[in-house]
Homo-oligomer: A and B are copies of this chain.
Amino acid sequence: MEAAERRATVLRAVVEEYVRTAQPVASQAITDSRDLGVSSATVRNDMTQLEREGFLAQPHTSAGRIPTDQGYRYFVDHFTSAGGLPVGQRRAVADFFATTHRALEDLLHETSQLLARLTSHAAVVVGPDADAVRVRSAQLVAIEPGTVLAVVVLGNGTVEREVLRSTVDGERLGRASGAFDSALKGGTLAPTTPATTTGDPEADVLLADAIHAVTTRARHVSDHLYVGGVSRLAAEQDAFATTATTARLLEMLEEQVVVVSLVRDLLDHGVNVSIGSENDVDELRDCSIVLAPYQVEGALAGTVGILGPTRMDYAQALAAVAAVSQQLGRLLLPSA
């Protein structure tokens, strides 16, 4: 084995051992657990080299090495390809999606919890960007005297609804409904107000109300973040030094909007794994994010991801998000 190649193997070993034990990895620990055919002294030399190159770091002089963010990055880019999920977990995912039968919101929420269970980390699920989803049909329905329901069916099978007050009904409501449909159908729910009129002032008011309500609601729902397994963040305390750090993480997850835009941003740049200092957000300096988009009918529908300490099992994490995102996309196909 060539020297450079061996150094890569040493790096790999350090990452794997550190993920397993959470302790700085000594040169001997590597020669003990791997069969490199060289002595610990040689591994030590490789390690100093790797440290010079920025892949490893030493907490203090008389300690083993831990990976730097750059070290994790190399590991992710070179040693995590095509890992499948263990059978047990693969079955858990299949079972979940076979038996679940819920409205979209609940499904996404429970998906985040599934992912959290699988990976033992906090999990997030982000819905599709409102701008990206087309309207399949829209209508207004009288549900009570004085109350009208605006119903919009989206390209991904989701149904959004909003309650409105209006005395318009019967024939006139039918015309308003037609105008509502033609105003939205085929477009997105981005907040535009197509100037449509029916020649009926009261119905026009209703129409404007309905379009406004539906678009703002869509924005709100699409920016919603489903978070599962927050308790894992507290359990991972050792990684996130202080309890104040944990509190700030939880706060950020509650904010939602920060995380949602971060996730969209990462994915727009084709990034699946963001490690520690690669994150621009301060709170995430000690965290890594592993993402996988899910697609419905070939179109990007949203993202699932997990949020854990940089010291995480990236291979398993990648396998888990891949499996879940794929199954989720499949389930969403025939409309919820």
Contact = CB atoms under 8 A, between A and B. Distances in A.
Contacts of A230: 230, 250, 254
Given A161-B161, A243-B235, A254-B231, A151 B147 contact: no
A141 interface: yes
Nearest to A252: B231
B228 A247 contact: no
A139 interface: yes
B147 A139 contact: no
A161 B248 CA distance: 36
A136 interface: yes
Contact of A251 (B149, B231, B246): B231
Contacts of A232: 247
B162 A103 contact: yes
Copies in the complex: 2
Interface string A310-325: 0000000000000000
Contacts of A249: 231
A251 B246 CA distance: 15
A234 B246 contact: yes
Contacts of A250: 230-231, 233-234
Interface in A232-282: 232-235, 237, 243-244, 246-251, 254
Given A103-B162, A231-B250, 15 more contacts: A102-B220, A103-B217, A106-B220, A113-B254, A139-B141, A141-B141, A144-B153, A149-B159, A159-B161, A159-B163, A161-B161, A163-B336, A228-B254, A229-B254, A231-B247
